[in-house]
């Protein structure tokens, strides 16, 4: 029995220890609020946390500590960082070259830290020559590839982007040129060489105006243009300096050679001309024959005839010899065409043969001069064989109609008019009988739009006959109706007056408009609303307000970053809210002026003495929630002022009594200028206290059960 008793007691003790360890472990796992640094406390050591940006100085330059920082360490192990100021530094001297140690003494302490810089002089100018060192006369300077560096007294170099000058370039004359690069008092030089470009080729850019010659003419170079090309790409005209060789004394294609000589270079180019013999180009009458009227049996007389001969070289001559004639005869009466012949060329003129005073007709046989028809007499006559006059006439009796043809359409029928047929005499072709053909009637064609419909007016379409084009029927086409484009704001709404938006028909231009409501001073989103406090401030048209409680979406570290500097012994984070405004295009914006945000939110009843929006914005409580006024939008942290716990000197004061005595909003101002080594965690103290109370209750219950069991069992 005693052994069992000890086992039970040992089990109870073990259970008690486990409960205590659990409570201690939970409390240990929770982050304790950091201990703030006492502003009166002095650092125990300082060190350089970041070196200055500038560590190289020229003689005479002043110290520049931009970018330099200090790390301050305190007895608590906490660290503070600060920016080094020039007045804290000593030991810098830029009058002489060398390594300089700069000592930093933190104000109010004797703690020091140091860093080094170097003072140097600019001893030499070093250059890399440009890629182009050979130039032709007239070339422009090309510094591509040129780089300039300064060499310091410590042997280091620095590339110069600007601040130096380059002089001495000239390509007007040939020869070697010295180029000088100067930076401050330092100089460096390099040489270039200017040369004459070599002749590469010549070309005839334009041939002479005259390329066709007759034998005996001289060469004419008017209009020719010759250019020379040099190795540097320059092209120059050399027309006045050329020599031309060529023979045009005989007919045919002739090659003319252009020769140009410059220094030791001889260049040739050529073109062709055509040389031809002198030939007759045309002839015409200079004078006509004096005799142009002849009687029977007279001989041709060419007296007075001369011609003008034009040659292909432009020469003109008048000729009256070596002329030949054909076509003259006087056996018949009438006009005769005489042809003049001259070396293959011909001219025509006319003479007339008339009847002589002693003329006697020579009558021919009767010849039919008019054929008889079916209903009309014909005629026959005799003529003079010399003068061709009619001597006598006699009629030829009509024949009468012969057989009739088949009916032939003489008039085609139309859509509305009858046609006709006829039969014809097979001999004379005259119509003998006439018949009718019935009208064809209209043939409908395709529908044609005569008047196109508009957005508001009907159109008209018609059908026409495809044969006669007559109008057959008429139809109406319904109006199309407007096709509107996108709405656009033509008059921006204000808080005092409505605006206006318009859209226009893309077909006819008709404009339709709608009024736009006045601008709002209040926007809402679920349990949240935003109101602009300024009388003349309004939210932009179609603005959207979105509010959300995002506490559960943030990590402890993110919340700690939002309340950095807050007195976590006095205040505790309750919730985080995000308020966002977007314009009509969906882009976020900040409203102008102060905004009052109202939140439909149940504030904790008795846990906190007062509430505020961090940092320092007052909260106005209401029956349904709370409101506060700030400028801008974004994340806002609601914090509560914790009710102080009872002190040890007043143990009888209950938590409820303490809560009743604290007046909301009576807490002192929050200290924000102390830096801490770790951020606070939301609700840490409340969670720890709850776990400790639960552990104590469990211990009491287990002890009571053990006591009851042991008492009943053994006593």
Give 424's strand partners. Answer: 431
Q: What does the CA dihedral 11, 14, 19, 20 come to, rounded to 10 degrees? A: 150
Does 568 map to a domain? yes
**Alpha-carbon distances of 673 from 37, 579, 670, rounded to whole Å:** 10, 27, 9
Helix runs in 502-654, H state only: 556-562
Q: What is the separation, in whole angstroms, between the first and last Cα of the chain? A: 12
Burial class (CB in 10 A: 0-12, 13-18, 19+), 644: middle
Does 402 map to a domain? no
Cβ-based neighbours of 552, under 8 Å, separated by 6 or more: none
Q: What's the pLDDT at 656?
A: 42
Residue 250 and residue 186 in one domain: no
Name the domain boundary from 120, 142, 161. Answer: 120
How far apart (Å, rounded) are the C-alpha atoms in residues 221 and 204?
A: 12
Please state whether 60 falls in left (phi above 0), alpha (psi between -120 and 50) or beta. left
Helix axes 2-29, 684-714, angle to 10 degrees: 180
Token pair for residue 108?
């109010």
How far apart (Å, rounded) are the C-alpha atoms in residues 594 and 534?
A: 7
Q: What is the DSSP letter of 404?
A: B
How far apart (Å, rounded) are the C-alpha atoms in residues 558 and 348?
A: 119
Q: What's the pLDDT at 159?
A: 94
Q: What does the CA dihedral 32, 36, 37, 40 come to, rounded to 10 degrees? A: -140
Residue 578 and residue 630 in one domain: yes
The SS3 of residue 260 is strand
**Alpha-carbon distances of 376 from 401, 405, 414, rounded to whole Å:** 11, 20, 36
HSE-CB of 649 using CA atoms within 13 angstroms: 0
Name the domain boundary from 180, 195, 210. Answer: 195
Residue 111 and residue 90 in one domain: yes
What sign for the dihedral angle of Cα 361, 365, 368, 372? positive
How far apart (Å, rounded) are the C-alpha atoms in residues 211 and 217?
A: 12
Does 76 map to a domain? yes
Beta carbons of 506 and 484 less than 8 angstroms apart:
yes
How far apart (Å, rounded) are the C-alpha atoms in residues 189 and 66?
A: 37
What sign for the dihedral angle of Cα 93, 94, 97, 99? positive
Q: What's the pLDDT at 698?
A: 85
How far apart (Å, rounded) are the C-alpha atoms in residues 163 and 148?
A: 10
Q: What's the pLDDT at 644?
A: 77
Range(s) of the domain holding residue 448: 444-477
Rg of the chain taking only CA atoms, in angstroms: 63
Does 687 map to a domain? no
Beta carbons of 57 and 117 less than 8 angstroms apart:
yes
Cis, bond preceding 460 (omega within 30 deg of 0): no
HSE-CB of 294 using CA atoms within 13 angstroms: 25
Q: What's the pLDDT at 36?
A: 54
How far apart (Å, rounded) are the C-alpha atoms in residues 202 and 208?
A: 16
Residue 114 and residue 225 in one domain: no
Residue 541 and residue 675 in one domain: yes
Does 597 map to a domain? yes
Q: What's the pLDDT at 684?
A: 44
Residue 648 and residue 546 in one domain: yes
Does 490 map to a domain? yes
**Alpha-carbon distances of 555 from 26, 281, 549, 577, 634, rounded to whole Å:** 20, 111, 14, 14, 17
Token pair for residue 194?
């200017």
Q: Which regions in the chain score pLDDT beneath 50?
A: 1-3, 25-35, 649-687, 715
Residue 575 and residue 667 in one domain: yes
Residue 371 and residue 297 in one domain: no
Residue 422 and residue 568 in one domain: no
Beta strand extents in 344-495 (DSSP E only): 345-354, 367-370, 378-383, 390-396, 408-411, 419-424, 431-437, 444-451, 459-465, 471-477, 488-491
Residue 640 and residue 617 in one domain: yes
Q: What's the pLDDT at 138?
A: 84
For the chain, give the longest Cα–Cα distance. 201
Strands 265-276 and 212-214: parallel
How far apart (Å, rounded) are the C-alpha atoms in residues 128 and 11?
A: 90
Does 401 map to a domain? no
Residue 427 and residue 319 in one domain: no
CA 182 and chain centroid, separation? 44
How far apart (Å, rounded) are the C-alpha atoms in residues 74 and 356?
A: 160
Beta carbons of 355 and 361 less than 8 angstroms apart:
no
Q: What's the pLDDT at 7?
A: 55
Q: What's the pLDDT at 671?
A: 31
Q: What's the pLDDT at 28?
A: 43
Give 513's strand partners. Answer: 502
How far apart (Å, rounded) are the C-alpha atoms in residues 386 and 362?
A: 7
Does 322 map to a domain? yes
Residue 464 and residue 585 in one domain: no
HSE-CB of 413 using CA atoms within 13 angstroms: 15
Name the domain boundary from 518, 537, 571. Answer: 518
Strands 265-276 and 280-287: unpaired
Our count of domains for the chain comes to 10
Q: Write the CATH number for 179.
A: 2.60.40.3630
Cβ-based neighbours of 317, under 8 Å, separated by 6 or more: 308, 309, 311
**Alpha-carbon distances of 126 from 97, 129, 609, rounded to whole Å:** 21, 10, 75
CA nearest 122: which of 184, 209, 54, 52?
A: 184
């Amino acid at each position: 029995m005693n052994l069992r008793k000890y086992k039970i007691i040992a089990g109870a003790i073990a259970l008690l220890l486990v409960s205590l360890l659990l409570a201690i472990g939970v409390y240990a796992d929770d982050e304790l609020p950091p201990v703030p640094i006492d502003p009166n406390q002095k650092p125990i050591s300082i060190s350089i946390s970041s070196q200055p940006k500038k560590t190289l100085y020229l003689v005479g330059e002043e110290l520049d500590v931009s970018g330099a920082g200090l790390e301050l360490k305190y007895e608590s192990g906490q660290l503070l960082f600060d920016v080094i100021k020039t007045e804290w530094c000593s030991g810098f001297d830029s009058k002489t070259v060398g390594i300089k140690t700069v000592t930093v003494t933190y104000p109010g302490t004797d703690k020091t830290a140091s860093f080094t810089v170097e003072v140097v002089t600019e001893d030499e100018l070093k250059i890399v020559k440009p890629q182009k060192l050979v130039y032709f006369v007239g070339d422009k300077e090309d510094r591509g590839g040129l780089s300039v560096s300064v060499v310091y007294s410590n042997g280091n170099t620095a590339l110069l982007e600007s601040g130096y000058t380059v002089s001495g370039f000239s390509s007007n004359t040939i020869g070697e040129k010295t180029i000088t690069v100067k930076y401050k008092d330092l100089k460096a030089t390099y040489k270039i060489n200017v040369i004459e470009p070599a002749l590469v080729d010549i070309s005839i850019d334009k041939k002479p105006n005259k390329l066709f010659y007759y034998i005996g003419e001289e060469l004419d170079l008017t209009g020719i243009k010759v250019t020379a090309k040099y190795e540097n790409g320059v092209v120059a005209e050399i027309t006045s300096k050329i020599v031309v060789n060529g023979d045009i004394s005989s007919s045919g294609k002739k090659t003319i050679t252009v020769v140009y000589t410059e220094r030791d270079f001889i260049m040739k180019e050529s073109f062709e001309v055509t040389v031809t013999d002198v030939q007759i180009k045309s002839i015409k009458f200079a004078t006509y024959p004096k005799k142009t009227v002849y009687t029977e049996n007279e001989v041709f007389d060419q007296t007075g005839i001369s011609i003008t001969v034009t040659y292909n070289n432009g020469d003109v001559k008048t000729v009256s010899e070596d002329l030949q004639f054909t076509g003259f005869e006087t056996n018949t009466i009438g006009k005769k065409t005489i042809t003049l012949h001259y070396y293959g060329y011909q001219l025509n003129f006319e003479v007339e043969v008339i009847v002589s005073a002693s003329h006697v007709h020579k009558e021919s046989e009767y010849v039919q001069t008019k054929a008889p028809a079916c209903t009309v007499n014909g005629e026959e006559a005799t003529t003079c064989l010399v003068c061709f006059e009619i001597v006598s006439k006699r009629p030829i009796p009509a024949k009468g109609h012969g057989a009739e043809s088949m009916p032939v359409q003489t008039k085609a029928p139309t859509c509305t008019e009858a046609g006709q047929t006829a039969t014809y005499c097979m001999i004379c072709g005259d119509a003998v009988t006439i018949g009718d053909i019935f009208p064809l009637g209209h043939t409908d064609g395709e529908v044609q739009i005569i008047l196109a419909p508009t957005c508001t007016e009907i159109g008209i379409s018609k059908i026409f006959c495809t044969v006669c084009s007559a109008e057959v029927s008429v139809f109406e086409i319904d109006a199309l109706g407007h096709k509107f484009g996108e709405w656009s704001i033509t008059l921006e709404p204000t808080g005092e007056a409505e605006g206006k938006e318009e859209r226009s028909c893309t077909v006819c231009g008709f404009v339709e408009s709608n009024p736009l409501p006045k601008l709002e001073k209040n926007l809402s989103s679920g349990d949240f609303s935003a109101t602009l406090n300024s009388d003349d401030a309004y939210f932009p048209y179609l603005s959207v307000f979105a509010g959300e409680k995002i506490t559960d979406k943030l990590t402890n570290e993110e919340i700690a970053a939002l309340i950095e500097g807050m007195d976590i012994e006095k205040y505790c984070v309750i919730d985080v809210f995000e308020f966002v405004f977007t314009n009509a295009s969906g882009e976020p914006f900040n409203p102008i002026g102060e905004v009052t945000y109202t939140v439909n939110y149940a504030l904790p009843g008795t846990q906190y003495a007062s509430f505020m929006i961090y940092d320092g914005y007052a909260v106005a409580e209401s029956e349904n929630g709370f409101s506060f006024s700030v400028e801008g939008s974004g994340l806002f942290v609601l914090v509560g002022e914790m009710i102080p716990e009872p002190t040890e000197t007043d143990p009888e004061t209950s938590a409820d009594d303490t809560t009743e005595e604290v007046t909301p909003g009576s807490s002192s101002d929050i200290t924000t200028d102390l830096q801490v080594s770790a951020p606070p965690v939301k609700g840490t103290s409340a969670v720890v206290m709850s776990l400790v109370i639960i552990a104590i209750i469990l211990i009491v219950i287990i002890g009571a059960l053990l006591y009851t069991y042991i008492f009943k069992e053994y006593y």
